[in-house]
Chain A
């Protein structure tokens, strides 16, 4: 073979190889990496964030929706009227919407969904959404009226969330494994431990605007595996990427676009206030003194997160910097631990398998050790976490990001919530926030609540979870920041 023939043969072999390699990302398909796999798929029955992340406003829809700026927009309700006293909401529903199984959508479905969420035996994860609603009335098939017992400044925003998804009575029982909604995508399949597949709903009322034909969510908890999947062209996007240290690598790679945005996720070192020794405020204060936020953010997040001193996001309008409430002071922490009689005692730090949590845990373990307390780190599966820690409240300490917006009400959920925290003064404060219609006055109350939680040292507040996204160049429409847990995919498209 002459050199030129050899060259030609090599070139054609190379071209062949490229031809086989290229169509890995078929136009119209988006393969999205997710750290967290839920145990069920009904957003109205489980608090797992990734259920909303995948299905809310994609498979399911709500009366309202929220855009990237956090503004409420019409959705299944095309318009609404609010009575002057703020206690009656009349929603006018879109015409001609239908569920993926063919049943028509009308006002009865709204009443069914809301009544189901408000029922005595409801398992809805956000009871606070429903607390102010007294009744749901069907005026006619296209009109629903909500009557409230008190004003609720967040009602329209809350109704956009996955917890307020509209399900049909015909299919709601199966929603845990076979979700049926009215949204732009319909559920195709869920292979546990691997992926969840959605396909475009051609009958959606605005189907022409939807570009993607197929969406595949792949569950990859380990950030190193996620990065490898991106590099190997097995993923098109990882919108909640867990390894900040790898961002420079992706930033330097022209195949990817990297964005660092904000989320509503306050990452906290939660302490079980109902269980000794954390029922003693001195112990919680000691933990707060023992931790060094800067070291945690630097070590676990490579500096890509903002510290928080209370339970409110730094990008919010009412934010108050309270990170100085319990300054890092090992000696003070040690003295408080000794005073409370827990010095040298062993306690567990039971964390979910997400990088932000496991990495922070390792650093916090060392910081607590320096203050004389031996914290044993247990990394547990998500299903175990949601069952044992969240539902059964069987834990000493844990680390979790609370990704719901407007979630200061968590501290008013009483002893049955996994914080094990209850304080009448805070309950009253939260009730005032919820009913205050004036934005200025509400912000002032929210600042007061932030101070309250910081000073009570209910938990150790660590940092605001950033939204680190690695997306293949050419795939557009992902939100850089997340004002809510869901991520609408109707607007995601491949650039031509």
Chain B
């Protein structure tokens, strides 16, 4: 097998950076992330505070690290939940065919037509804003995406000879789905999941920016951006660091998704 594509390596490295920060934050941060030290606000970067402190004297590195954990946790939950449900729906639709498939796809169209942020705002109004509700809202927008991808890929497999042979041999649709369809759509779903990870991180940042995601004192990159907005004139770095964290992570997942697609699609690799 040839070398993995460069975008996969670069994307993987960026994602690993964010994941490392998130994992380390679970056991250690330079300072407690919510510890206020108002007398020491807007401190410049130093040996103690590597990136300085924010408007309430909280350590920026610690906040970015816990923010990474929150962002990735929300993205993971949203993609796992939305992707799991969506993929199951897509596979079922493809296996059953006929009016069931049509109905499932029309429901997906409905999901696509529904503005995700509006749904999140409704959810926050009904259950109160929180990270968990943000994850639910993002999972909801992921369901139709995965359903589409899974159904499309599965439909291509159902007409292949080995599946037709299985059907001729009298195997059930469920058994065929588990044995032959799932392994063959896995690549497409994994690529989609990587890309949706990037989308979920952006969505979490947007929701938190609007005050519908992480609630104080739980830090979030989106909320850090929102809070830094009135401080641009005093301390622009407070907006730049969380912004950079979002860009790096989203870019990382985007590149990784592209790289995985290149790996999964032999035709593209041959052309290279």
Residues of B contacting A115 with CB < 8 Å? none
> Smallest CB-CB separation from B211: which chain A residue?
A379
Residues of A near B128 (CB, < 8 A) are: 378
User: Which one of A243, A295, A363, A366 contacts B230 once the chains associate, using CB atoms below 8 Å?
Assistant: A243
* Complex Cα–Cα for A52 and B194 (A): 54
Residues of A with C-beta under 8 A to B230: 223-224, 227, 243, 245-246
Task: Assign chain B's interface to a size class.
Answer: 20 to 34
Contact A245 B55 (CB under 8 A): yes
Would you call B34 and A369 a contact (CB within 8 A)? yes
Hey, which chain A residues are within 8 Å of B41, CB to CB? Answer: 298-299
Binary CB contact string for chain A from 339 to 371 against chain B (1 if under 8 A, 0 otherwise): 000000000000000000000011101110100
- Asked if A362 and B217 sit within 8 Å, CB to CB, the answer is yes
Which residues of B from 210 to 228 have beta carbons under 8 Å from A?
A: 211, 215-217, 226
Tell me, yes or no, whether A392 is within 8 Å of chain B by CB: no
Q: Take A299-B41, A366-B35 as given contacts and tell me if A224 and B233 are in contact as well, using a CB distance cutoff of 8 Å.
A: no
Assess the B217–A298 pair: CB atoms within 8 A: no
**A-B interface contact total, Cβ < 8 Å:** 49
Chain A, interface residues (CB within 8 Å), range: 20 to 34
Contact A295 B211 (CB under 8 A): no
Is A248's beta carbon under 8 Å from chain B?
yes
B232-246: contact bitstring with A at CB < 8 Å (1 yes, 0 no)?
A: 011000000000000
User: Which A residues, 433 to 476, have Cβ-Cβ distances below 8 Å to chain B?
Assistant: none
- Residues of B near A243 (CB, < 8 A) are 230
A residues in contact with B35, CB < 8 Å:
366
Chain B residue numbers with a CB within 8 Å of A378 are 128
Partner of B38, one of A245, A249, A298: A298
Determine if A295 and B38 form an interchain contact, defined as CB atoms under 8 angstroms apart.
yes
- Which single member of B34, B217, B233 contacts A249 (CB below 8 Å)? B233
The 5 A-B residue pairs with the shortest CB-CB distance, nearest first, are A224-B229, A299-B38, A295-B38, A249-B233, A243-B230
Measuring CB to CB, which residues of chain B are less than 8 angstroms from any residue of chain A? 34-36, 38-39, 41, 55-57, 128, 211, 215-217, 226, 229-231, 233-234
Q: What 11 new A-B contacts, CB under 8 Å, besides A223-B230, A377-B216, A378-B128? A: A245-B55, A245-B230, A246-B233, A248-B234, A249-B233, A298-B41, A299-B55, A363-B36, A366-B36, A366-B56, A369-B34
15 CB-based A-B contacts, threshold 8 Å: A224-B226, A224-B230, A245-B230, A245-B234, A249-B233, A294-B38, A295-B36, A298-B39, A298-B41, A361-B216, A362-B216, A367-B36, A369-B217, A378-B128, A379-B211
Which residue numbers of A lie inside 8 Å of B, CB to CB?
Answer: 223-224, 227, 243, 245-246, 248-249, 294-295, 298-299, 361-363, 365-367, 369, 377-379
